[in-house]
Amino acid sequence: AKHKMIGNIPNVARVLYSHTDYSDCWPVYFGQVEKYMNCFKNNYILINKRDSRIPSYFSQILYDEKKAYVDRLLFGLNQIQDPIVFFEHEDMIVKSMPNTSLIENYSKIIKTKTIHNFFPIRFDVIRLVQGGKFFSVPLVGKKFKKLRIISRFSIWIFSLQPSLWSLSRIQEILLNHTGESIWEFERKAQWSFRKPTRRSGTLREGLLKS
């Protein structure tokens, strides 16, 4: 059941990637979600086989575990309709009540272009935790509270962290890395983030810095 004090964030689907080999994390993960962060209308888990220990409010999308990590993820995301996804793994456990209004505001920034300092800006992904070696600069303005732009010249620009993603953009990135393991993808995707893309030029990543 949804926590009565947590608002529902529209047009954003939670997408959890997991495997039954890591089910020892599930009691803590699902317990903390129910306690603090059951705030999305649609919740999906990408999993290797159906499991009764997964809460009923998570729709189970079954991937072929013979496939590589990127192909599993791409298959699962292709089943989802929501324009924005909140992506995480089962060991990325929330510890306290999040600012859901801030998350909703950032989902709107991903969905539409925003004018900042007279220039249009659009984020494809907003990371909700810090991770990796990077340079970043803060954005000024009430709607950009705590938000920073990660420089494309950073050593480590991309990490698999709890993040808000444009669904179409994460699918586009994954298509460039089919057949790769999770470690290969995280390493090689650094270059994907630096290349111009067909849809809107350079991919932009934001960081929610606490």
Residue-wise pLDDT tens digits, 178-189: 999 999 998 888
pLDDT recorded at residue 18: 96
pLDDT recorded at residue 125: 82
Query: Which residue, among 5, 79, 71, 14, has the nearest Cα to 36 in the 3D structure?
Result: 5
Which tokens in the block code for residue 145? 């509270």
Query: Which residue, among 12, 20, 91, has the nearest Cα to 54 in the 3D structure?
Result: 20
pLDDT tens digit sequence for 109-140: 887 655 555 455 667 888 876 655 565 666 65
In this prediction, residues 150-159 reach a mean pLDDT of 70
pLDDT recorded at residue 3: 47
Give the residue, 112 or 147, on which the prediction is more confident.
Answer: 147
Average pLDDT, the chain: 79
Amino acid identity for residue 58 in this structure: F
Give the residue, 24 or 144, on which the prediction is more confident.
Answer: 24
In this prediction, residues 183-198 reach a mean pLDDT of 74
Q: Other CB atoms closer than 10 Å to residue 40's CB: what's the count?
A: 25
Query: Which residue, among 93, 96, 19, 92, has the nearest Cα to 53 in the 3D structure?
Result: 19
Point out which residues pair with 138 in neighbouring strands.
148
> Which range among 149-153, 156-160, 163-167 shows the weakest confidence by mean pLDDT?
149-153
Q: pTM score, two decimals?
A: 0.82
pLDDT recorded at residue 96: 79
pLDDT recorded at residue 86: 93
- Range picked from 17-26, 159-168, 200-209 for highest mean pLDDT: 17-26
Q: Does the pLDDT of residue 160 top 90, yes or no?
A: no
pLDDT recorded at residue 41: 81
pLDDT tens digit sequence for 65-122: 999 999 999 999 999 999 999 999 999 888 778 778 888 888 888 876 555 554 556 6
